[in-house]
């Protein structure tokens, strides 16, 4: 007899080594809360061997408690051996009896954790677990059927079958915000939650079969691990905030390919593939936008040991595909950040970046769960986005505008976050306010906020042409004021811009560009009659959002790669001559 571990070392977060156990099918285990309860043929060391692991020494259990747990496990194995006569289960029973009578038991590895599970392999089977032997599986199926008689005063809410009692709902693991042991979808553990004389889960009765089917499906959907039993499988969930995820599925296997497309597009994990997928979504190929297969989405949060259902959505795969295509189109915007040398940027930012841009840097989980859940839900439904996104995007842009001109990785990340916020602003203004906005700058857009944002970007470019990189740029000092109260800021900005134009004209390298930028200032500012300070005293939230968008798109048009800006400057110079 020997203990063989199935854990495999892998590289975890920040390249730290961690061990991942292999997955197996095991007899269904009912949740343990208080009291002793042995699982069948697969349990921890306390129940299987009556031993406590080294990791559990901080909380030592009495020897009598360990013997009691071991005997519960052994009794269930002995019953199965008597009923089936199977040689594999008989071997396990004899082994456990030998340990109980004082025989030499196994030596647990030092790294063995208190929640590690042990199962058995009968030597002649080589690699088949004892609980997977046909006779043992048949016994366990019959034993469980006898434990849950199909009669009683309760009726299952889903199947309407008569049931004797409402069992505990199994734990759903890996839900963000939940405990490591898992959380229950249905749980009544306080009298204040009960009503009409019902006790516990009788307040929301589900038959055992229904509860276990729901539990199994949810654990599969929320599990982020793409590998099970050495086989790759597609993800069917998406984490949208620190404690919330959306899981989605269809009732037809024919829809799997489409769901894989949607999953990859939303996750943004493979930029190359995402580009192809988004282009396919926009063109309707290979996604069948008329696919009638049902599409389901469930939004879950973990809180205090139980699950919170934030949203439930039913549609068709074809309808969701159309809505997501429109969702991606609404979000598309020219980027501030530059592509890596020799590479290109993905066509769309992943959802986690979009939502993280609404929270302070380094605190990505602070995006409110309701806001994140609503945003995803509205993208799937094709509805209006949460209005709170607009206020948060404008607020974070003001707070972080000072980092947009920084160099290195920090500056690139700041520009990535601004790309995300500008995309969200554009999508919300289009969908909620009916304002037609394109991906690139629109010179025909005469919205005051949009024009002022463009004007601010031109003034910034003039300063850079005249002074180069400075410690405190016009963006650092004036962006917040200019976007909220233009009248009190822009006269001073224009006066300084004229000085900067004259200085830039003294340098032959920037003279042509300076003259062109000066003309741009006159053209954009003309509707406001700068001489009479006709700038608006204040901008509404919608106009402030347009200011951010106008600044973003004009800045992209002005700050071209070196070869493009040089050709533009040359063209300006030749025109002046």
pLDDT in tens, 405-431: 888 888 888 999 999 999 999 999 999
What average pLDDT does the segment 269-283 reach? 47
How far is residue 392's CA from residue 174's CA, in Å, rounded to a whole number?
Answer: 29
Which of helix, strand or coil describes residue 573? helix
DSSP per residue, 29-60: -----SS----SS-B-HHHHTS---GGGGGGP
pLDDT at 514 over 50: yes
- What tens digit of pLDDT does each residue of 526-544 get? 999 988 899 999 999 999 9
With residue 432 as reference, give the H or E element that holds it: helix 408-433
pLDDT at 89: 95
Mean pLDDT check: name the lowest of 246-255, 350-359, 542-551, 564-573: 564-573
User: In the block, which residue shows the tokens 């997928």?
Assistant: 277
Residue showing tokens 């992943």: 350
Q: Would you tell me how many other CB atoms lie within 10 Å of the CB of residue 243?
A: 18
Higher pLDDT, 148 or 471: 471
Instruction: Inform me whether the pLDDT recorded for 486 exceeds 90.
Output: yes
Mean pLDDT of the chain: 83
What's the average model confidence in pLDDT over 24-31? 82
Retrieve residue 97's tokens: 């009896």
User: Where is pLDDT greater, at 226 or 549?
Assistant: 549
Lowest mean pLDDT, pick from 87-101, 340-354, 375-389, 449-463: 340-354
Which of residues 451 and 253 earns the better pLDDT score?
451
Is the pLDDT confidence value at 21 over 80?
Answer: no
Helix %, strand %, coil % for the chain, to 5? 55, 10, 35
Cis, peptide link before residue 286, omega less than 30° from 0: yes
Q: What contacts 93, CB < 8 A, 6 or more positions away?
A: 74, 77, 78, 80, 81
Q: Which pLDDT does position 261 carry in this prediction?
A: 67
Q: Using the predicted structure, report yes or no on whether residue 285 has a pLDDT greater than 60.
A: no
Pairing type for strands 17-21 and 154-155 reads unpaired
- Residue 204 CA to residue 206 CA, distance in Å, equals 7
Long-range contacts from 524-527, C-beta under 8 angstroms, 24+ separation: 524/451, 524/454, 524/455, 524/458, 525/455, 525/490, 525/494, 527/446, 527/448, 527/451
Report the Cα–Cα distance between both ends of the chain, in Å, rounded: 93
Give SS3 for 452: helix
pLDDT tens digits, one per residue of 184-226: 888 887 888 888 888 888 899 998 889 989 998 999 899 877 5
What is the per-residue pLDDT for 392? 93
- Region 163-177: mean pLDDT is 86
Question: DSSP letters of 531-553?
Answer: GGT-S-S---HHHHHHHHHHHHH
Q: Which residues of 294-324 are buried (b: 16+ CB within 10 A; e: fewer)?
A: ebebbbbbbeeebbbebbebebbbbbbbbbb
Tallying the residues shown for the chain, one arrives at: 577
CA distance 65 to 50: 9
Distance CA 429, CA 431 (A): 6
Decide if pLDDT at 564 tops 90. Answer: no
CA–CA distance from 303 to each of 175, 176, 444 (Å)? 10, 9, 49
User: Stretch 56-66: mean pLDDT, rounded?
Assistant: 76
Looking at the predicted structure, is the pLDDT value of residue 277 above 50?
Answer: no
The confidence score (pLDDT) of residue 231 equals: 59
Mean pLDDT of 376-391: 90
């Amino acid at each position: 007899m020997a203990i063989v571990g199935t854990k495999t070392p892998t590289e975890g977060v920040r390249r730290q080594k961690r061990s991942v156990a292999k997955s197996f099918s095991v007899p269904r285990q009912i949740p343990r809360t208080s009291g002793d309860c042995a699982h069948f043929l697969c349990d921890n060391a306390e129940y299987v061997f009556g031993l406590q692991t080294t990791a559990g020494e901080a909380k030592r259990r009495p020897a009598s408690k360990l013997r009691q747990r071991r005997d519960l496990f052994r009794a269930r194995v002995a019953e199965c051996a008597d009923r089936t006569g199977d040689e594999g289960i008989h071997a396990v029973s004899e082994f456990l009896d030998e340990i109980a009578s004082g025989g030499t038991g196994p030596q647990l590895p030092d790294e063995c954790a208190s929640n590690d599970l042990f199962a058995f392999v009968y030597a002649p089977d080589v690699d088949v677990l004892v609980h997977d032997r046909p006779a043992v599986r048949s016994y366990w199926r019959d034993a469980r059927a006898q434990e849950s008689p199909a009669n009683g005063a309760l009726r299952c809410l889903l199947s309407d079958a008569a049931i004797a009692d409402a069992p505990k709902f199994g734990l759903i693991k890996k839900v963000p915000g939940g405990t490591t042991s898992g959380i229950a979808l249905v749980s009544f553990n306080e009298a204040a939650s009960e009503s009409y004389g019902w006790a516990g889960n009788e307040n929301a009765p589900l038959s055992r079969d229904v509860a276990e089917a729901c539990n199994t499906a949810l654990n599969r959907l929320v599990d982020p691990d793409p590998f099970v039993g050495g086989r790759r499988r597609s993800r069917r969930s998406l984490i949208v905030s620190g404690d919330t995820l959306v899981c989605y599925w269809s009732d037809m296997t024919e829809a799997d390919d489409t769901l894989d497309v949607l999953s990859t597009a939303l996750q943004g994990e493979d930029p190359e593939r995402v580009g192809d997928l988004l282009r396919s979504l926009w063109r309707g190929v290979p996604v069948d936008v008329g696919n009638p297969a049902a599409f389901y989405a469930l939004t879950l949060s973990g809180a205090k040991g139980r699950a919170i259902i934030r949203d439930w959505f039913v549609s068709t795969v074809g309808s969701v595909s159309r809505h997501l295509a429109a969702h991606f189109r609404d979000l598309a915007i020219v980027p501030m950040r530059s592509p890596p040398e020799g590479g290109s940027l993905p066509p769309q930012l992943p959802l986690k970046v979009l939502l993280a841009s609404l929270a302070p840097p380094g605190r990505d989980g602070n995006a409110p769960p309701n806001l994140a859940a609503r945003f995803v839900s509205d993208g799937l439904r094709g509805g209006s986005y949460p209005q709170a996104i607009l206020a948060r995007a404008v607020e974070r842009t003001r707070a972080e505008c000072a980092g947009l001109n920084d160099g290195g990785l920090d500056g690139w990340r700041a520009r990535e976050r601004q790309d995300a916020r500008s995309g969200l602003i554009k999508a919300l203004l289009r969908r909620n306010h009916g304002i037609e906005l394109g991906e690139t700058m629109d010179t025909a857009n005469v919205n005051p906020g949009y024009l002022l944002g463009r004007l601010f970007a031109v003034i910034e470019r003039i300063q850079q042409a005249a002074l180069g990189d400075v410690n405190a740029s016009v963006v650092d000092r004036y962006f917040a004021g200019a976007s909220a109260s233009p009248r009190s800021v822009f006269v001073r900005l224009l006066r300084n811009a004229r000085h900067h134009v004259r200085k830039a004209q003294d340098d032959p390298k920037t003279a042509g560009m300076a003259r062109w930028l000066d003309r741009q200032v006159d053209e954009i500012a003309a509707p406001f009659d700068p001489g009479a300070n006709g700038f608006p005293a204040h901008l509404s939230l919608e106009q402030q959002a347009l200011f951010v968008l106008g600044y973003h798109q004009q800045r992209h048009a002005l700050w071209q790669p070196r070869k493009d800006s040089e050709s533009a400057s040359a063209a300006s110079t030749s025109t002046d001559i």
